[in-house]
Chains A and B, each alone.
Chain A
Amino acid sequence: MSEIAIKSKAPREPLFSKKNKKLITDPLTDNNPVTIQVLGICSALAITVQVSQGVVMGLSVIFVTVMGNLLISLLRNVIPSKIRIIVQLVVAASLVIIVNEVLKAYLPDISEKLSVFVGLIITNCIIMGRFEAFAMANKPWPSVLDGFGNGLGYAGLLVLVAIFRELFGSGTLGGIPIFGNSLPGEESGLYAMGYANNNMMILPPMALVIVGCIIWVQRSRNKSLQESH
């Protein structure tokens, strides 16, 4: 039995061939959906005040990109091209409803903090961008990998921004104090020496400045990504 199974698989591409691996690793660095493709910034930055929110948001987006890419890829031959946008929106919206209901049931605190931004995953450009650019033209398995890679690239950036903002804005990581106790009157650690949190980091505009700096670092390391204007 096993021999037959192997033989029948042999002419097919292995599941994690070089090409397929590239689908996952590319979006993490040189083709990052946020910093290079400029997709999906909309719903992302307002919720990076805490790492935990960033992680939950990232996982939700990974789920939607993977499942959505799979569904769209399976349906790609039966979707009429004129109404494809609406079909894609309906697939995305159904998946986001699932995510939202699960979050409400198991993580009510975080769900409340994310508020409308869970719903906004639907119009997250990454989702529509990957549906349109990849899943409509590729087989299910590469589409799943592509969805996973792009979701991961997005989640990675969210968490990175959230780490900066939470560490310097509230002095904690994932809710755990890093620099000591900051309560007035009972300071310890760095706070006892006169360190103060940078409240500016909590404000929404700083997320943009942090992403701008990440882009700066990335593009100064990889000159081919630089724009002329």
Chain B
Amino acid sequence: MESTLDIFVKAIFSENMIFAYFLGMCSYLAVSKTVKTAVGLGAAVIFVLVVTVPVNYLLENYMLKAGALSWLGDEYANIDLSFLSFIMFIAVVASIVQLVEMLVEKFAPALYGALGIFLPLIAVNCSILGGALFMQERQYSTLLDATAFSLGSGIGWFIAIVAIAAIREKIRYSNVPAPLRGLGITFIITGLMGIAFMSFMGIKYGKDVKKEKAPTTMVGQINNDKN
């Protein structure tokens, strides 16, 4: 088993939401024109991920998974509701985002001013639902692990969007070929950053990882995770 710290570090670097799985690319590309807004969106993503993934974890383990309803009594032990997980997860994400927005507006107006316009956007950010789905697929054993994963993923996303925003601010002073300006060059820079981030994959996490054959490509890594 991986330790909680491994899960956390892995989620930030080698399994970065943006560079390894392209989750949340839409807002990543749309809101990365200046560092200030990028920081706001990144913070909102961390916040929402840390709130929603644990809730979805509880939902998955006490309601949706095969046999998860056994706490209700023996006759419910054979029920498998996992086909409902998409709709439950997205409903949880959408309603929590709405709830968080209201709470933040009421109790922390300053924070609302900073995050306000980004919160509604986040309900449809792939990285939030992606966090819940990866949590489901990887079967984290404790609530703590799932929370560590969500915090790590959020921080990874934050690092990625702030980094690209800083690069985009500077690239204005360079002479980029006209057809590549804007979107095109952003795609290519993200690709190059992804290649740089892949160097984190060589890091060995924990003690028992050494027994596994080290995956040579990210595809191998993804397949290993599945097994």
Contacts and interface: CB of A to CB of B under 8 A. Distances in A.
A208 B191 contact: yes
Contact of A204 (B22, B90, B182): B22
Which of B24, B186, B194 has most chain A Cβ within 10 Å? B194
Interface of B: 19-26, 29-30, 83-87, 89-91, 94-95, 120, 123-130, 133-134, 136-137, 172, 177-188, 190-195, 198, 217-219, 226
Contacts of A227: 181-183
A94 B133 CA distance: 16
A177 interface: no
A208 B194 CA distance: 9
Contacts of A209: 187-188, 191-192
Interface string A113-124: 001100110111
Which of A40, A202, A219, A223 has most chain B Cβ within 10 Å? A219
A116 B129 CA distance: 10
A36 to B, nearest CB: 8
Interface in A88-121: 89-90, 92-94, 96-97, 100-101, 112, 115-116, 119-120
B217 A202 contact: yes
Contact of B137 (A41, A116, A123): A116
Contacts, number: 169
Which of A45, A49, A208 has most chain B Cβ within 10 Å? A208
B94 A89 contact: yes
B86 A85 contact: no
Q: Is the interface of A mostly helix, strand, loop or mixed?
A: helix
A203 B195 contact: yes
A216 B183 CA distance: 9
Contacts of A218: 179
B19 A204 contact: yes
Contacts of B195: 203, 205
